[in-house]
């Protein structure tokens, strides 16, 4: 799980230098060391008053200047200014200052709380929750505590304390990892840990235990021997009882050292045989007879282990390393082993140029799943493969579920291994599907493995999130491949070339290649080409690119020229497509490529007839890099034109090639291809891919010219892109598109589009709690509705005004305005919501979503003002009559009212499917809310660690796209649940967060819940909550919310029953 945290409106940090963030943006104007030291001392005080003298000492040490006090006041004034809206938290108190920051805004407070919760979960026997909390705690550290201020006298004790707590949290997380079966992934970290603190016996114990569980008994005993020697040499003492007992257990191979069944993968039995032989299905190359794998004994053993474990429950893993290190070769070796054990092995490969349809690495895998039992193929699976499912948002969840069902269906017949190569190039839709599958497979015999290039600079957010999802899977593995040992490189060189390469040359190859197998093999081939006499004297080139270039230079010119075109086609080169691109017969193309096959730059080792493959992506990259820009564009244009008659399957490929050929091709032609490809991506539910394609189309449309026709084409693309971004990330994702789209709509006289864009601008302000902007737009719409007879405009105005009333707590007015809006639609159904003939699909999508949102708000208004059980039934009826995307939207309105009513069961029933199906970036506006609701549900059921983790994830996802509306409720409900279960400190923290949201953004409708949280906390302290409950009830009654009044009354009745002698005014 990634280290993600709740981010309050203002966040203060000392764990990694002193820093401040306001709404996620770091403040850069804190000043030099002295003012930062003052701020650090105030932050470390945790809300206590710090005397002026102590602040002076923090800033200047024991020798302050005469003007220190007046300068201190100046520093405080500047800090208040730098803190902006949070400056009021820094106050003068008596003879000192205090920073009244909520505990949750202090990273060290959050770290200590998460670390404490993680340890409690670990002690309670819940290592999964413990790990989730402790990873978040570790993620709060950005560097050494207090950074460059750590050596100041005031900081010494603080740094020592925080460093000690950090070490303890890391140790707890490592213990959780061991209990979860993550010993293989932990070995490197534990080795470094004992080197950093060689006198810490607990670290040696964890290293020895992890080594033993990896099947490395000798390494485990060696670690214990090293521990004994270190302790004797440094301290003159023998190891403690724990290390001595562990040594005896390892020597006896005591089964007590094995993972307990409840938290560990089962032992590695062979996969169960299929009931009947399954047809062989391959979507990528299988190995013909090849040389034995060199080295990688340990890594292969880990993969064999996880393959065995997958027989009793789905497993996942990642093999990571630099280009050419042997990731794919390792998986090929595993694939052969899996086939020998009766598994069905399916491959998928990402396209390194990005010029491929959405779900590209998955498409051959999914086709194989469908073709293995075509009569049983799931509808969503076929819809995705055939790109015929319609709008991207509507069927997304059904398709994901059907893909998971297809995997389960196939695995019930025969153990299944899915291998995804080069995950770093996968499109966002493919990564989302991987994340979904690893979270939704159960006891089926399935193994999902992927390779990924090493290097954080290459990784986008989607890839990082997919890798995190794999890491969260129970029993997952992550292997990082390093270079081969010198003796292994020598064996590889011997296998690769017939030349008589001396040991000296082999060692030189190893040193130059740094153990990289591909680099070493290419060097060996180069030396072999030079002949045995020259091999010993051959100069070793500086890099792998130079090696490939030297080998290409020895090919015939016709071969090199054709390879450059083939490199544009892709890693897999279809000779028929290559023939169409070049206008030559297939036989002629094959003849010209034979020298490259002979030189092992291309291979025919594929299952597909008429397809060659570059032996490594690096060969293709070198060929592409060496083209001039004009030649590169020309080649891409040739490929695009060869794909002109291709269908939907190749639409995105063709569009990407035209994009790369733009210097030589009309931008409008490329834009149209990108727009067509985006529609195909949407029919495959690949929203992120559609976004990427439409962004490029908009760029080309804008550059094409300014005629009315060109402006209209740009507007259509902008509207479609706006719709896609809203589905992905809510209204926060469209802010940069609105100005341009509104200007175009006004110029073209498209008042229908202008209205929808104004609505989007209002919704952006509305969801981000920018009520100054939202109120102004809503007032304009209200005035428009009052003075027009046009039913479209009247409904527009009434919709917007009703929703705006909700934020201000005027719930009855909200209900009446939305009822009036729907009455307008009933009186003029032929004019609402369609504006005129010729309305585009993008605009229809806008209109449909707006009306569905208004329907959700209307039902929510009736639920808050009236009867919740009746409204719940109305929600059920509506949810059963709409598509899946609309159901997601409406579900969150149902959850909102259910959460206000305190209906835990109902909220869980509705929120859980949305929370589980929405990734970190997939429908994040709705998915973030679902996670927040689910967190409250889990806390209400006493599942503390899981609940807090869900709340952390939901808050981060929700606010990452700029959303704030409703957070007062989402923070108050956890406070209530925690107070009811006696977690007083946590309850106070969440209530403080809720109050901060109300104060910062001014949203009023959650106020009764926040006041109810105060009352529950008061009662949990043992004090009389009567007055606090009365305030909560009055606030709910003022808003006209019968649901909230009823909830407060139930709370009051419960407290009266617990304290029968205490009166209550509620």
pLDDT digits (tens, 9 = 90+) for 841-889: 555 555 666 778 888 899 999 999 988 888 888 888 887 777 666 777 8
**Average confidence (pLDDT) over 953-960:** 83
CB 798 within 8 A of CB 786: no
CA neighbor of 885 nearest in space, from 1042, 1054, 728 = 728
967's tokens: 């957070």
672's tokens: 């149209």
Residue 396 has a pLDDT of 63
750's tokens: 């498209």
User: Is it the case that residue 202 has pLDDT exceeding 60?
Assistant: yes
Residues 6+ apart with CB under 8 A from 573: 566, 602, 611, 612, 613, 614
Q: What percent of the chain has pLDDT over 90?
A: 17
Between strands 477-480 and 344-349, the pairing is unpaired
264's tokens: 């560990």
pTM across the whole model: 0.55
Q: What SS3 class is residue 612?
A: strand
What's the full length of the chain, in residues? 1066
What average pLDDT does the structure give for the chain?
A: 81
- pLDDT band for 448, please (50, 70, 90 cuts): very high
Please indicate whether residue 914 or residue 146 has the higher confidence score (pLDDT).
146
**Average confidence (pLDDT) over 986-1009:** 91
Residue 847 has a pLDDT of 63
User: What is the DSSP code (8-state) at residue 663?
Assistant: G
Beta-bridge mates of residue 318: 450, 478
User: Is it the case that residue 994 has pLDDT exceeding 80?
Assistant: yes
Question: Distance between CA atoms of 59 and 56, rounded to whole angstroms?
Answer: 5
User: Is it the case that residue 996 has pLDDT exceeding 80?
Assistant: yes
Q: Cβ–Cβ contacts within 10 Å for residue 830, how many?
A: 6
Question: Dihedral sign, CA of 971, 974, 979, 983?
Answer: negative
**Average confidence (pLDDT) over 232-257:** 81
Residue 498 has a pLDDT of 62
First to last CA, the chain: 45
- pLDDT band for 353, please (50, 70, 90 cuts): low
Helix ranges (DSSP H) in 152-290: 156-179, 183-196, 201-213, 217-235, 241-252
416-421: strand order across its sheet: 344-349, 416-421, 446-453, 315-321, 477-480
What backbone torsions phi and psi does residue 449 show, to the nearest 5 degrees?
A: -125, 145
Residue 10 has a pLDDT of 82
User: Is it the case that residue 733 has pLDDT exceeding 80?
Assistant: no
Question: Distance between CA atoms of 321 and 482, rounded to whole angstroms?
Answer: 7
Mean pLDDT comparison of 297-301, 693-697, 846-850, highest-scoring range:
693-697
CA neighbor of 318 nearest in space, from 456, 466, 143, 172 = 466
User: Is it the case that residue 284 has pLDDT exceeding 90?
Assistant: no
Please indicate whether residue 998 or residue 372 has the higher confidence score (pLDDT).
998
Quick one: CA torsion of 1050, 1052, 1057, 1060, rounded to 10 degrees? -160
Residue 645 burial by Cβ neighbours in a 10 Å radius (0-12, 13-18, 19+): exposed
- pLDDT band for 1033, please (50, 70, 90 cuts): very high
User: Is it the case that residue 393 has pLDDT exceeding 80?
Assistant: no
**Average confidence (pLDDT) over 188-217:** 86
**Average confidence (pLDDT) over 604-611:** 71
Q: CA-based angle 645:646:647, to the nearest 5?
A: 120
Q: What SS3 class is residue 145?
A: strand
Please indicate whether residue 827 or residue 1055 has the higher confidence score (pLDDT).
1055
Residue 902 has a pLDDT of 94
780's tokens: 């304009």
Question: Distance between CA atoms of 574 and 608, rounded to whole angstroms?
Answer: 9
* Distance of alpha carbon 1017 from the chain centroid: 35
């Amino acid at each position: 799980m990634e280290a993600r945290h709740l981010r309050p409106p203002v966040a203060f940090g000392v764990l990694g230098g002193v820093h401040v963030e306001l709404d996620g943006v770091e403040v850069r104007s804190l000043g030099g060391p002295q003012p930062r030291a003052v701020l650090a001392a105030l932050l470390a005080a945790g809300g206590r008053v710090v005397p002026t003298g102590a602040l002076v000492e923090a800033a200047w040490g024991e020798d302050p200047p005469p003007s220190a006090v007046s300068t201190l006041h100046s520093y405080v004034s500047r800090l208040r200014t730098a803190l902006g809206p949070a400056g009021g938290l820094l106050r003068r108190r008596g003879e000192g200052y205090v920073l009244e920051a909520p505990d949750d805004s202090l990273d060290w407070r959050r770290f200590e709380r998460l670390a404490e919760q993680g340890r409690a979960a670990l002690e309670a026997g819940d290592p999964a929750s413990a790990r989730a909390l402790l990873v978040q705690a570790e993620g709060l550290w950005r560097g050494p505590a207090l950074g460059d201020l750590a050596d100041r006298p005031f900081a010494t004790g603080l740094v020592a304390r925080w460093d000690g707590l950090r070490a303890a949290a890391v140790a707890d997380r490592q213990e959780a990892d061991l209990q979860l079966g993550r010993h293989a992934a932990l070995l490197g970290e534990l080795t470094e840990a004992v080197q950093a603190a060689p006198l810490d016996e607990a670290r040696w114990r964890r290293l020895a235990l992890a080594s033993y569980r990896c099947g490395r008994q000798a390494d485990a005993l060696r670690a214990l021997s090293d521990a004994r020697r270190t302790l004797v040499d440094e301290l003159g003492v023998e190891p403690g009882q724990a290390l001595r007992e562990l040594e005896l257990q390892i020597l006896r191979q005591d089964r007590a050292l094995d993972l307990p069944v409840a938290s560990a993968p089962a032992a590695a039995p062979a996969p169960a045989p299929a009931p009947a032989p399954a047809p062989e299905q391959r979507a990528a190359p299988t190995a013909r007879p090849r040389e034995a794998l060199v080295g990688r004994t340990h890594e292969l053993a880990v993969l064999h282990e996880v393959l065995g474990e997958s027989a009793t429950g789905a497993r996942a893993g990642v093999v990571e390393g630099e280009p050419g290190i042997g990731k794919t070769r390792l998986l090929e070796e595993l694939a052969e082993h899996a086939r020998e054990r009766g598994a069905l092995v399916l491959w998928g490969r990402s396209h390194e140029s990005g010029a491929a349809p959405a779900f590209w690495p998955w498409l051959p895998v999914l086709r194989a799943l469908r073709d293995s039992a075509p009569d049983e193929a799931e509808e969503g699976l076929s819809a995705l493969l055939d790109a015929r499912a319609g709008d991207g948002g509507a069927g997304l969840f059904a398709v994901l579920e059907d893909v998971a069902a297809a995997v389960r269906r196939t695995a019930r017949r025969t153990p299944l291994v899915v291998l995804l190569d080069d995950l770093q190039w996968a499109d966002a839709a493919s990564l989302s599907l991987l994340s979904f599958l690893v979270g939704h497979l159960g006891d089926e015999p399935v193994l999902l493995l992927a390779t990924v290039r090493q290097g954080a600079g290459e990784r986008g957010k989607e890839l990082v999130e997919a890798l995190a999802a794999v890491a969260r899977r129970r029993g997952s593995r992550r292997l990082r491949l390093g270079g081969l040992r010198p003796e292994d490189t020598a064996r590889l060189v011997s296998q690769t070339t017939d030349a008589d390469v001396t040991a000296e040359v082999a060692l030189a190859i190893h040193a130059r290649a740094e153990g990289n197998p591909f680099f070493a093999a290419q060097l060996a081939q180069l030396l072999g080409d030079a002949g045995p006499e020259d091999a010993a004297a051959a100069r070793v080139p500086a890099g792998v690119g130079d090696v490939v270039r030297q080998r290409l230079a020895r090919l015939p010119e016709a071969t090199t020229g054709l390879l450059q075109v083939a490199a544009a086609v892709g890693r897999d080169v279809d000779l028929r497509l290559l023939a169409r691109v070049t206008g030559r017969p297939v036989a002629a193309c094959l003849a010209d490529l034979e020298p490259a096959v002979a030189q092992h730059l291309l291979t025919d080792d594929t299952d597909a007839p008429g397809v060659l493959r570059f032996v490594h992506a690096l060969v293709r990259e070198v060929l592409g890099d060496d083209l001039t820009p004009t030649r590169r564009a020309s080649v891409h244009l040739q490929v695009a034109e060869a794909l002109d008659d291709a269908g939907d399957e190749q639409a995105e490929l063709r569009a990407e090639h035209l994009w790369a050929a733009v210097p030589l091709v009309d931008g409008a032609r490329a834009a149209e291809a990108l727009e067509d490809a985006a529609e195909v991506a949407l029919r495959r539910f690949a929203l992120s891919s559609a976004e990427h394609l439409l962004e490029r189309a908009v760029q080309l449309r804008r550059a094409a010219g300014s005629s009315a026709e060109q402006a209209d084409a740009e507007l259509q693309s902008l509207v479609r892109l706006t719709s896609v971004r809203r589905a992905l990330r809510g209204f926060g994702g469209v802010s940069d598109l609105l100005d341009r789209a509104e200007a175009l709509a006004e110029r073209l006289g498209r008042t229908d589009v202008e209205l929808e864009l104004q609505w989007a601008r209002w919704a952006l302000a509305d969801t981000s709690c920018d009520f100054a902007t939202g109120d102004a737009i809503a007032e304009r719409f209200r005035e428009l509705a009052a003075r027009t007879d046009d039913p479209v405009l009247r409904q527009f105005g009434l919709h917007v005004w009703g929703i705006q009333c909700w934020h201000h707590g005027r719930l009855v007015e909200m209900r009446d305005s939305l009822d009036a809006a729907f009455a307008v639609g009933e009186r003029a159904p032929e004019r609402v919501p369609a504006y005129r003939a010729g309305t585009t699909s993008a605009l229809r999508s806008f209109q449909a979503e707006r009306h569905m949102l208004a329907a959700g708000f209307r039902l929510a208004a009736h639920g808050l003002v009236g009867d919740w059980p009746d409204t719940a039934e109305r929600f059920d009826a509506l949810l059963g009559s709409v598509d899946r995307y609309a159901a997601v939207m409406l579900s969150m309105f149902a959850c909102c009212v259910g959460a206000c009513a305190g209906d835990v069961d109902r909220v869980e029933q509705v929120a859980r499917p949305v929370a589980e199906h929405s990734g970190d970036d997939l429908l994040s506006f709705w998915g973030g809310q679902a996670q927040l609701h689910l967190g409250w549900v889990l806390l209400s059921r006493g599942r503390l660690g899981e609940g807090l983790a869900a709340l952390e994830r939901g808050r981060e996802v929700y606010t990452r796209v700029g959303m704030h509306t409703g957070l007062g409720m989402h923070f108050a409900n956890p406070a209530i649940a925690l107070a009811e279960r006696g977690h007083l400190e946590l309850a106070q923290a969440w209530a403080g967060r809720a109050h901060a949201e109300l104060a910062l953004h001014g949203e009023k409708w959650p106020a009764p819940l926040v006041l109810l949280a105060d009352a529950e906390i008061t009662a949990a302290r043992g004090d009389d909550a009567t007055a606090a409950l009365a305030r909560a009830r009055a606030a709910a009654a003022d808003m006209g919310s019968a649901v909230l009044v009823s909830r407060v009354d139930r709370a009051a009745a419960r407290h009266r029953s617990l304290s029968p002698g205490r009166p209550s005014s509620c």
